[in-house]
Every structure is written in structure tokens, then in C-alpha cells.
A = this chain, B = another copy of it.
């Protein structure tokens, strides 16, 4: 495994790939890798001539009361999974180098960052947009792979990439689920067996709502109520039907929408979503 720890070395690697006419596929992660990440890494390894993943638990996207210090760090297992997924180069910058003394610069994506997780976690998208800008400048990829699991984050990154003229294609890969439907997430490790059983209600609620949309329901309130009906045993943060590109709530299904849910199950805050497009509209 080729482990790179500084932005300068990272750029030197990317420059060498480009010289050799290999496109660069990039998978930014916070580590604690699972099959969801593996699907992104396999896509990068298959599509691009050179693939690199980053592992960086980014402090600026956590609030002081959140799980930054407890976030799972599983570096050796992460390297093994990356290797099996066809990614043999890992960028692992140090937090002190990423945010050195006097650090002052933040990237804000207005409007699309507001609402949903942006409301529950006001520092979150600013931290994400900032660290992704820094990672993009270090890696200089042709394509960056993100998970639909973090659909709101994908919308923010897509907007930022276009607005700031990064010459990078954002690829959004489908959610990978456990056999019972639970969306894979690094934070699933926080769940004890009883919570793990309860957590499946997030996807069950979403699937029920999708069935309703497929049968013709177009009113957001009815669709949301169907999903909420399954969420009685968890602490719901939000269930919302939003436009797929702007992530603003909609009253009716029109065009492409995303049904998003966030809920606390024990000490784990889990998110999940499904996309739906009314092709007859």
C-alpha cells in the first residue's frame, strides 16, 4: 500500500499519473470503511487509470458535542479493504497540517446547505465543503466518487464544484445496504444488537413511502406520514421530501425528488434516503 501523508507528495503522485496519461479517480472518506466505500473504490479503480482514497476524520465538520473523538478509526482494516477494492494509494493527511495555527478559511455553500442536516448540524456542510476543497487541491482528480447515502452532502459538493470551477466530475454511487435493508454506515458500529434491530425501520419507512409513490401518491405530507409511521421506535430528527438538486422541501412529487430521513438510534445518528422520479409528470 502506498501511503501518502502530505499535500506536496500527493500532488507529485497525481502529476506523475497525469504525465502517464492516466485519469485520476478519488474517493474521499473518513475511514472506518465498509462495503459502501468499497463500491466507490471499485468504481474508481475500474473507471480511472489511477485511483486514490483519502482517510481523514475532519474535525471542522464536527461540533464540539459530536462524536469526533469517538469516531471509529480502523486504519489497518481500511488499508486491507482498499487494497481488495483495487485502490493501492491512500492519502492520510495529518490534522495539524490540514488546520495549522492561524487557520482561517472556510468555504460556504449557501442555500443548498441550509435545512435538514444543515439545520441540525450548522457547522457540518461548511466543514465538508472546506475539507473537500483542500482535498481537491491536493489530489487534483478528474473524478471524485461520493455515496448517495450522503445525498445532501452530494448536492452541496456538486454545487460547490460547479461554482468554484473545479474541473472535476462528481460521481454519485448508489446506497449499499445490509441484507435487511439498513444502509451501510461507519456509525452502524455504534449500535448494540437491540439498536441494530430497531435501526432497520429507517429503510423500512423509506421503502414503504416509495411503494406509495410508485402506486401514484404525489402529496408530500402523505408520503412523509407513511415513512414516519415506521419510525415510532427511534428518535426522528427529520423526514422530508426535497427537490433532488436544491434539497429544498417540496409539497408534491414533481420531477426528481429525494425522501430523506435522519434519526437517533441510541447514540448513533443515522441518515438514509431514496430517490424517486415522476417520469409521467
Contacts and interface: CB of A to CB of B under 8 A. Distances in A.
Interface of A: 7-8, 11, 102-113, 129-130, 133-134, 137-138, 159-160, 163-167, 246
Nearest to A126: B108
Nearest to A134: B165
A27 to B, nearest CB: 18
B108 A164 contact: no
Contacts of A130: 164
A130 B8 CA distance: 23
Contacts of A105: 107-110, 129, 159-160, 163-164
Contacts of A133: 133, 164
Contact of A137 (B108, B110, B113, B165): B165
B107 A107 contact: yes
A137 B164 contact: yes
17 contacts: A7-B165, A8-B167, A104-B113, A104-B159, A104-B163, A105-B108, A105-B110, A105-B159, A105-B164, A106-B107, A106-B110, A107-B107, A108-B108, A133-B133, A134-B165, A137-B164, A137-B166
Contacts of A166: 137
